[in-house]
Amino acid sequence: MPGLDDVLHSVNRAVILGVGDYGSGADAAVALRFLGLPVTATDSRPETALPPEHIRKLAAVGVPLLLGCNPEWLVDGDTLLVPAPSVPLSHPLVKKARCIFCDVALLAGAAAGRVIGVTGSNGKTTTAAWLHHVLRQTPAGAALGGNIGVSAGRLLAVARRSSSFVVLEISSFQAEYLVLAGVAPSVMVFTNFSPNHLDHYCSLDAYRSAKRGIIPLVPPSGALVLNSDDEVWRWREGFLGRVLAFGRRGRFSDGVFFGDEIVYVRGGVEETLGPAAASPLPGDHNLYNLCAVLAAAAALGVAPAAAFRSALSFPGVEHRLEKVASVEGVVFYDDSSSTTPESTLTALAAFAPPPVLIVGGRNKGMPLDALAKALAASPGVVLIGETTALLLDKLSGCSAVVATAADMRDAVAKALAAAMRAGTRSVVLSPGFASFDMFRNYRHRGDVFKDEVRELAAL
């Protein structure tokens, strides 16, 4: 696997393809300039479409920025191309370039042996943040980046000077670029697999290949951490390194499992870590996340009992079943990170009795039958966004109380009315769809929801 120094010595300049809405491209440019490489940035969008702070960041380190075009003359055989994760593999510059490393791939090369990747269709953000929380309490310390926290580019220079662990949340798009670069973290965690991003991939198999393609690149000295109750468990075949399972209790020789107790198993010998009920986050899905965290920590040599104690103080992640406020005895929860029907079903399973749900957004081409069946059995549903008409059709004739809302304020008010009418004590924003029809991103959607709930609570 090529290290960062190998990459830097093989090229004479870098081109950043896509500044990034969150500045990942700008951060990578700054890091590469710090490492002594001449850098040019390019973005097909006009200046008015880019956050001004990213443009200022590039200017401050002398990186020229070409806007409104991606000229092919920028790339030759001696160019390091650093594409934003949203840039498709079919892009002309990606096809032309010889050396292609996204920021996550550069970081994996810079901190070889200390990088832990977390990916999956659901649960990867919580698992990555939780693992970071545990590892940060070890003597080595830890940083968190990739698709969450600090961009991988910002961590690049730090990783070369530090011996800390680096936890990276890795999206399917980033995984594709890791495969293209031929690099991978030394420990890879796969939380689960279910349909997602079918508006981007031509088929479910293409999405699956984007996720599992990274496995052959994990070094034999490393480890895989796989959900033994999910299809990802089958992806271990052919891997020569250590494989740790996590999930419900079963007959496995290496991993972390839950029933009434959380149990670590190594070589068939069991060590009880503590009661499952001690988990600081609700729901069985968070017990899976907790077991994944403990298994990954064990793969890194952290004592399981110490890791379990550290895990119990994890406060959770914003926009993931985050308790917001109580209004007239009804508790509102923000699960705006739910962008797939599967994640909404997972959130629903964490509540007994079931809550009133606020659902809807931009469809990503996922199957909706299971979601519609669950919504039909709920005490109340408020529909928002572009999928309103589609879900109304799916729910026609059901006994659930279904309302539609023009905006988030309307949705919050109608959800409260539905909860009080049904006698249920919880309302959950768990949209199940992308946010871009009404909001900048899922964080913006969750922030608007919380503002509306808190304003209602203050009346």
Transcribe 181-205 into DSSP letters: HT---SEEEE-------TTTSSSHH
Specify the DSSP class assigned to residue 434: B
Q: Are residues 114 and 172 in the same domain?
A: yes
Task: Determine the pLDDT at residue 25.
Answer: 92
What size, in residues, is the chain?
Answer: 459
Containing structural domain, residue 373? 322-457
Across the beta sheet with 99-100, what order do the strands follow? Answer: 65-67, 39-43, 13-17, 79-83, 99-100
Q: Are residues 69 and 120 in the same domain?
A: no
Q: Are residues 44 and 75 in the same domain?
A: yes
Q: Are residues 275 and 346 in the same domain?
A: no
Reduce the DSSP state of residue 333 to 3 states and report it: strand
Domain membership flag for residue 317: no
pLDDT tops 90 at residue 109: no
Domain membership flag for residue 2: no
Specify the DSSP class assigned to residue 433: S
Q: Are residues 119 and 96 in the same domain?
A: no
Task: Determine what percent of the chain falls in helix, strand and coil, rounding each to the nearest 5.
Answer: 40, 20, 40
Task: Determine the pLDDT at residue 149.
Answer: 76
Pick the last residue of a domain from 71, 100, 129: 100
- Give tens-digit pLDDT for 232-287: 999 999 999 999 999 998 778 899 999 999 999 999 899 999 999 999 998 999 99
Q: Are residues 284 and 330 in the same domain?
A: no
Measured distance CA(158)–CA(206) in Å, rounded: 35
- Give tens-digit pLDDT for 144-162: 998 887 888 888 877 777 8
Q: Report the CATH number that the domain containing residue 199 is assigned in CATH.
A: 3.40.1190.10
pLDDT tops 90 at residue 181: yes
Q: Are residues 163 and 67 in the same domain?
A: no
Pick the last residue of a domain from 311, 334, 363: 311
Q: Are residues 383 and 450 in the same domain?
A: yes
Across the beta sheet with 142-146, what order do the strands follow? Answer: 142-146, 165-169, 115-119, 187-190, 223-227, 242-248, 254-258, 261-266, 269-275
Stronger pLDDT, 414 or 153, i.e. the higher one? 414
Q: Are residues 356 and 446 in the same domain?
A: yes
Q: Report the CATH number that the domain containing residue 393 is assigned in CATH.
A: 3.90.190.20
Measured distance CA(301)–CA(162) in Å, rounded: 18
Domain membership flag for residue 241: yes
- Assess contact for 130 and 191: CB atoms under 8 A: no
Measured distance CA(110)–CA(456) in Å, rounded: 49
Pick the last residue of a domain from 281, 311, 341: 311
Domain membership flag for residue 316: no
